[in-house]
Homo-oligomer: A and B are copies of this chain.
Amino acid sequence: MLTNRQLQILQVIVDDFVTSAQPVGSRQISKKDWITSSPATIRNEMADLEELGFIEKTHTSSGRVPSEKGYRFYVDHLLRPISMSTQEIGLFQSIFKNQIVEMEQVIRESANILSDLTSYTTILLGPNVSKHRVKRFQIVPLSEQTAVAIIVTDNGHVENRTITLPQGFFPSDIEKTVNILNERLVGISLLELQSRLELETFYVLRQHVNTADSFIQSLRNVATFQNEGKIYFGGKTNMLNQPEFHDLNKVRALMEMMEKESQVISLFHPEDTGIHIRIGSENNHLVMDDLSVITASYSIGNDQEGSIAIIGPKRMDYQRVVSLLDVMRSGLSSALSNKVNDGL
């Protein structure tokens, strides 16, 4: 177990390094007025902390830098949530107050505000579409051969696909199809849509509609959705201001990573419910070895979920980000839930 003094020293090392990005030495630590020991004593303690793996040297005679284990210990035991300035709280409320705007707009704004406030990069995962429920089907013919199929969900999301109509498919057939689909499928979630179609609806369709068979493949396409929510970014370029990104190769690697949807999504973990911190290599991604990700989930109504992630250097201001994220998460949840409730 760490002594009280060791805890203090570790805390100073992390805090100082977070703000300065420079290795911190014994003299610097002893200058803090709540630290009473002399540099020499502190050096001894630091040697111990290093042996325990909490801090590291960048070279033989340099000051110390927190190790990954050190950060982990810090966030697990030394982190005290701080309260935000009223100015910041005001900023948040300004997004949520505005009732008129669309859900998408609120999410976009949130991402931007978070990245402005932290000067890190924000990734906001929109609510997973597959939990929305079908409110209405619609097929609008464009020509003899093509039409647009539209699904409206209970919270106002609209999905649409262009489909090909089989030859000899008449307006009356379209009408019949739409009726069947609406009768059978309204109220079920997009997630179940695919299987419901296969198991039941197609069968009915074949019975009532001419040339249904060649049409069914089109409908299959309609029912295929991305199974993750839409991705919104805020402050993509903020990271370039961080000193750890003076290295062009790192910049490139990170930028390329952010372009790839699947890799971005892999930063989120569906089992994370509250606020989670992943430090450096804990992200299991080479590019992220020098970065930390803090994720939080928000919920809309009862089950629809979205996530927020803030990506910053390992040397990131964990206290501040966690606090901000907590406010944002509850703000988003209640704002968006209200929107849904208004619509019930």
Given the interface pairs A237-B259, A251-B251, A252-B240, the reply to whether A343 lies near B156 with Cβ below 8 Å is: no
Stoichiometry, copies per complex: 2
Given the interface pairs A102-B162, A255-B236, the reply to whether A155 lies near B135 with Cβ below 8 Å is: no
In Å, the complex CA distance between A251 and B255 comes to: 11
**Chain B residues within an 8 Å CB radius of A72:** none
Query: What 18 additional pairs, Cβ within 8 angstroms, besides A102-B161, A236-B259?
Result: A103-B162, A135-B140, A136-B140, A138-B140, A140-B152, A142-B155, A143-B342, A143-B343, A145-B343, A148-B156, A158-B160, A236-B255, A237-B256, A240-B248, A240-B251, A240-B252, A241-B252, A248-B251
**Chain B residues within an 8 Å CB radius of A142:** 135, 152, 154-156, 343
Given the interface pairs A236-B255, A236-B259, the reply to whether A146 lies near B140 with Cβ below 8 Å is: no
Do residues A152 and B155 form an inter-chain contact, with CB atoms below 8 A? no
Is A246 interfacial (CB 8 A cutoff)? Answer: yes
Is A150 interfacial (CB 8 A cutoff)? Answer: yes
Is A199 interfacial (CB 8 A cutoff)? Answer: no
**Chain B residues within an 8 Å CB radius of A2:** none
Is A1 interfacial (CB 8 A cutoff)? Answer: no
**Chain B residues within an 8 Å CB radius of A344:** 143
In Å, the complex CA distance between A155 and B251 comes to: 40
**Chain B residues within an 8 Å CB radius of A246:** 248
Interface string of A137-176 (1 = CB under 8 A from B): 0101011011010101011101011100000000000000
Looking at chain A's contact residues, the main secondary structure is mixed
Interchain Cβ contacts under 8 Å between A and B, 15 examples: A102-B161, A140-B152, A143-B343, A146-B156, A146-B342, A150-B152, A150-B158, A156-B162, A236-B259, A237-B255, A240-B251, A245-B248, A246-B248, A251-B251, A255-B255
Chain A residues in contact with chain B, CB under 8 A?
Answer: 102-103, 135-136, 138, 140, 142-143, 145-146, 148, 150, 152, 154-156, 158, 160-162, 236-237, 240-241, 245-246, 248, 251-252, 255-256, 259, 342-344
**Chain B residues within an 8 Å CB radius of A236:** 255, 259
**Chain B residues within an 8 Å CB radius of A102:** 161-162
CB distance from A144 to the nearest CB of B (A): 9
CB distance from A32 to the nearest CB of B (A): 33
In Å, the complex CA distance between A237 and B135 comes to: 41
